[in-house]
Chain A
């Protein structure tokens, strides 16, 4: 007690003394002062809002403190380890986000990343799976003291579990409909393993990112898609042709029928007209058959003869030219006869 009061006195009064070289007393005083200062600086700590602090006294866990300013025993008697329990942490597999910089991010070569993402499916094909595990430290004490390298274990286990889950499915299922189920199965299985190790990690989600066939095979997968498109295109084109041709043919058919109907009407009407004329003439003829007959005959000839090209008269098998009917033709005939 009295010593510490002395120390205080020395600290306060030290400046006023004339500097006549350090005595033993002054050295001791300085040391004690340093000690006090060190004690002052090592007896409090701050816990950030997203953290919890594990306090240990002589190496044994003593308690957990919440965010805020806290005091502890100095000189390493109490030590504090802060763990970010509220933060969502993330491990990436098969790829690395470039901008989360830091020295450890750069130590992975692309070869390592490919080793992470390449796996075998149940039908013994190769597939490339990229995924993310999001997790939180739910129990800081377990996190620190159940396992030496919980994050590394999480990585190892995630790879092991993902390969088991993917290996238990057909490749095409993994590529298409199986994604959600795979993510859920993997999450549950990783969580179960973490619980078994009691390492205080809580898995929030497992999210599948790119799930693709190996690079060299991808063009062949694209080819299948193209072929599927081509199939649809060919079917569509054929249907288009069909849709063009059938209505046109139906129109043509209707036209053919309509034309036939026109013909039918015309034919019947002509028959009716002609017979009506005949019937009318016949009625007149019956009144005076001889006269009408002769009249009709002569009328017709009268109209028709002027149009006739040449007329020959035959008598007992001999052809006689009919003179004076048409001058040029008759002359022609006469000369041809003279030659005979």
Chain B
């Protein structure tokens, strides 16, 4: 009985093994092809789930059904304007025709190698035939100068701010179109090609930074001299006002003095005019009041004054 049981167990295990080898699962993310001695058999299995094959002689090649990412090498490319830039492109692709894919590139690493060749060379062709502005700016490029501070707008005066003829999106479209043409024979569908990074190469970057520095410095110098200018303007205005204020006050003062002098003259004239002779006598007497020890008096012996003096001595 134990012997029978063992045989049964072995047969069962064998059947189980055969069953196990003939069933296979295609995942939601996959598609598969049955290959018999290296030769694809039947259609592509795109439905996920449990599938069957002839055990031992057929094997399953699985391919990803999802969108895949491709990232190009970073390459140095000169633009039409001879600036060397670093361009890094990225693309999305999927295995569209697994049979063709299997025949032409075998697997993903084969496909990546082909994509590297194709996309890098397309990117190189298009970038080297294009001005840098075209790659950086987009078709709806517009500069609203009114938004910019005056000194920034002046700093841009030298720069070419024209709208690009194509712009970045369209260049990416060109890259996509040029590379898509080569895809069907690889069994690949390209979904998009995009420029991920553009930068100057290091030596150019240093130059550009130096230019930016000098641009800023000239703006700074402009601010400083503007400050000096405005300060001078204010101080000049101040000087003008000061002179006006002083001279006006001086003029008014002189007018007031003049008026007063005239008035005094008129008063004196009116009073002294009553008896000019007496005024002269009166004024002479007044001037004697000013005599002091420094005065030397010369008296004529014939004068009245001398006679008075003789009389006072007696």
The yes or no answer to B185 lying at the interface (CB within 8 A) is no
B residues contacting the other copy or chain, number (CB 8 A) = 125
Measured in the bound complex, the distance between the Cα atoms of B285 and A298 in whole Å is 9
Measured in the bound complex, the distance between the Cα atoms of B292 and A237 in whole Å is 61
SS of A interface (majority): helix
The yes or no answer to B113 lying at the interface (CB within 8 A) is no
Contact of B168 among A156, A164, A286 (CB under 8 A): A164
Residues 166-184 (chain B) with a chain A CB within 8 angstroms: 168-169
Asked whether, in the complex, the Cβ of B301 is within 8 Å of the Cβ of A314, the reply is yes
Contact of B296 among A124, A149, A309 (CB under 8 A): A309
Asked whether, in the complex, the Cβ of B253 is within 8 Å of the Cβ of A268, the reply is no
Contact of B271 among A61, A223, A265, A279 (CB under 8 A): A279
Asked whether, in the complex, the Cβ of B205 is within 8 Å of the Cβ of A126, the reply is yes
Name which residue of chain B comes closest to A240, CB basis.
B234
Residues of A within 8 A of B2 (CB): 23-25
Knowing A235-B234, A238-B231, A263-B257 are in contact, say whether A275-B245 is a contact too (CB < 8 A): no
The yes or no answer to B289 lying at the interface (CB within 8 A) is yes
Mask of A266-278 contacts with B, CB within 8 angstroms, 1/0: 0110111011101
Q: Nearest Cβ distance between residue A49 and chain B, in whole angstroms? A: 25
Measured in the bound complex, the distance between the Cα atoms of B285 and A118 in whole Å is 105
Number of A-B contacts (CB under 8 A): 352
Contact of B220 among A156, A227, A233 (CB under 8 A): A227
Residues 196-223 (chain B) with a chain A CB within 8 angstroms: 196-200, 205-206, 208-209, 212-213, 215-217, 219-223
Residues of A within 8 A of B235 (CB): 238, 241-242
Residues of A within 8 A of B301 (CB): 313-315, 320
Name which residue of chain A comes closest to B235, CB basis.
A238
Residues 152-198 (chain B) with a chain A CB within 8 angstroms: 152, 156, 159, 161, 168-169, 191-192, 194-198
The yes or no answer to B143 lying at the interface (CB within 8 A) is yes
Residues of B within 8 A of A160 (CB): 90, 194-196
Q: Nearest Cβ distance between residue A178 and chain B, in whole angstroms? A: 9
Asked whether, in the complex, the Cβ of A249 is within 8 Å of the Cβ of B246, the reply is yes
Residues of A within 8 A of B37 (CB): none
Knowing A235-B231, A308-B291 are in contact, say whether A242-B224 is a contact too (CB < 8 A): no
Contact of A278 among B140, B213, B279, B297 (CB under 8 A): B279
Asked whether, in the complex, the Cβ of B291 is within 8 Å of the Cβ of A226, the reply is no
Instruction: Choose among B5, B26, B67, B206 the residue with the greatest number of A CB atoms under 10 Å from its CB.
Output: B67
The yes or no answer to B54 lying at the interface (CB within 8 A) is no
Asked whether, in the complex, the Cβ of B28 is within 8 Å of the Cβ of A310, the reply is no
Measured in the bound complex, the distance between the Cα atoms of B231 and A298 in whole Å is 74
Residues 268-306 (chain A) with a chain B CB within 8 angstroms: 268, 270-272, 274-276, 278-279, 281-282, 285-286, 293, 296-298, 300-305
Residues of B within 8 A of A302 (CB): 312
Knowing A28-B9, A260-B256 are in contact, say whether A275-B29 is a contact too (CB < 8 A): no
Asked whether, in the complex, the Cβ of B147 is within 8 Å of the Cβ of A177, the reply is yes
The yes or no answer to A104 lying at the interface (CB within 8 A) is no
Q: Nearest Cβ distance between residue A21 and chain B, in whole angstroms? A: 14
Measured in the bound complex, the distance between the Cα atoms of B159 and A315 in whole Å is 108
Contact of B257 among A213, A214, A264 (CB under 8 A): A264
Knowing A199-B67, A226-B220, A253-B246 are in contact, say whether A60-B47 is a contact too (CB < 8 A): yes
The yes or no answer to A12 lying at the interface (CB within 8 A) is no
Asked whether, in the complex, the Cβ of B143 is within 8 Å of the Cβ of A122, the reply is yes
Residues of B within 8 A of A254 (CB): 249
Measured in the bound complex, the distance between the Cα atoms of B136 and A252 in whole Å is 66
Asked whether, in the complex, the Cβ of A126 is within 8 Å of the Cβ of B272, the reply is no
Measured in the bound complex, the distance between the Cα atoms of B90 and A170 in whole Å is 25
Contact of A148 among B64, B252, B291 (CB under 8 A): B64
Contact of B305 among A239, A301, A310 (CB under 8 A): A301
28 inter-chain pairs at a CB distance below 8 angstroms, sorted by A residue, are: A58-B48, A60-B28, A118-B199, A146-B67, A148-B66, A156-B71, A157-B90, A163-B196, A170-B143, A170-B161, A172-B148, A217-B216, A219-B213, A220-B216, A223-B216, A230-B223, A241-B238, A246-B238, A256-B253, A260-B252, A267-B264, A275-B272, A300-B285, A300-B289, A301-B305, A309-B293, A310-B297, A315-B300
A259-B253, A298-B308 known; 6 new pairs, CB 8 Å cut-off, are A124-B159, A145-B28, A177-B147, A214-B212, A235-B231, A271-B263
Please list the 7 inter-chain residue pairs (A to B) with the smallest Cβ-Cβ separation, ordered nearest first: A264-B260, A253-B249, A275-B271, A260-B253, A231-B227, A220-B216, A60-B48
